[in-house]
Amino acid sequence: MRRLPDPRGPLSEAVLGLLTAGPPGAGRPLALPGPGADPWGEDHQLALHLCYELHDRGLPGVDPGWEWEPALLGLRQELERDFVAAVRAEADPVPPLPDALDRLLAEPADQTGPSHFLLAEGERRHAREYLVHRSVYHLKEADPQLWMLPRIHGAAQAVLMTVAYDEYGAGRPDRAHAVLFARMMADFGLDPRYGRYLDVIPAPALAVVNLMTLFGLHRALRGAAVGHFATVEITSSPGSARLAAALEHLGAGPDGTLFYREHVEADAVHEQLVRRGVINELLAVEPELEDDIAFGIAAAEVVDVRFSDHLLGHWRAGASSLRSPLPDVPMPDGPLPDVRP
């Protein structure tokens, strides 16, 4: 990330003000507002995203010591508490785990998601916006899920590591999914540098990534993290096939479809590994996590539906789904910027 984003309200303004004031001072009081009224709002989600980036790539010009500053962690805990409560309210009632997994295996009958739209009636501008939204996760793909690894053990951990190995290119750095996504962005004239478009990415897209990071960072929510991860892996393959076809139709070159073509095959295998090797093996050791896994699946659906509704609502109204429209200018020719440290 080359620069910090602009604030979107009092919460994110206060967090940014603290982070740019120098290193945290021992015992120095922090003037932080309480959480905002809307946990789905722009201010709340950006503030939470900034707190999480301290655990990921860090933030430009920000002292790394802020990562574990107790007062900032206290604010983050309040933000998380309100966010999880909002997700639970929309997910209720959570179906039993066997029913939740069965639902994941069946494609929705309404066929109204973003991949369907892009394939049936999407334009190149829609595809570029979609990639910008998804860049907030895919340029660090699988990083949030790796927090799960030390929290589960035995066979479930070994299988999870097998899936993660594929996400990072199976020993080939040039095949890491984050690198493939960067190449796809460049093919569509977008800048693939990490955090480049954070200012224009709205709250519904941030909430998708914030939720998986939240689950991964809390051992108490490890079951929910596994359920969320299962949702991503089990449902990815059909949508990836549609997206690859849509992007090719909209003028993508080989680099512009490789990311999704890779996911068609890889996630079809991962679906079996996650269901049988991670979930079943984890429940054999910790059966009390069954309800948490089911909640993770339901929670993933909540944020995905909100994201989908945001995209389609704007696109069908003829408006940009980003906080400000993208300039229709291709990225300058030259070497692909680095996307991983």
Q: What are the pLDDT digits (tens) for 218-243?
A: 999 999 999 999 999 888 888 999 99
pLDDT for the residue numbered 340 = 46
**Chain centre distance of CA 303:** 10
Say which residues have a Cβ less than 8 Å from residue 191's Cβ, sequence separation at least 6. 185, 197, 331, 337
Greater model confidence, 332 or 138: 138
Q: What's the predicted TM-score (pTM) here?
A: 0.93
Torsion, Cα 244 303 280 140, to 10 degrees, reads: 60
Domain final residue, candidates 33, 65, 89 = 89
Please choose, from the candidates 60, 49, 56, 74, the residue with its C-alpha nearest in 3D space to the C-alpha of residue 205: 49
* CA–CA gap between residue 78 and residue 18 (Å, rounded): 17
Range of the domain at 214: 96-316
Residue 191: how many CA atoms within 13 Å on its side-chain side?
Answer: 13
Q: How many domains does the chain have?
A: 2
Q: Quick one: 162 and 311 in the same domain? A: yes
From 89, 115, 146, the end of a domain falls on: 89
Q: What is the DSSP letter of 277?
A: I
Q: Judge whether 285 and 193 are in contact, CB under 8 Å.
A: no
Residues 209 and 128 in one domain: yes
Mention every residue, 6+ apart, whose C-beta is less than 8 A from residue 284. Answer: none
Does residue 330 belong to any structural domain of this protein? no
Are residue 110 and residue 76 in the same domain, yes or no? Answer: no
285: in domain: yes
Q: What is the CATH number of the domain that holds 265?
A: 1.20.910.10
Residues 141-154 pLDDT 10s = 999 999 999 999 99
pLDDT in tens, 96-139: 999 999 998 887 767 789 999 999 999 999 999 999 999 999 99
C-alpha–C-alpha distance, residues 183 and 178, integer Å? 9
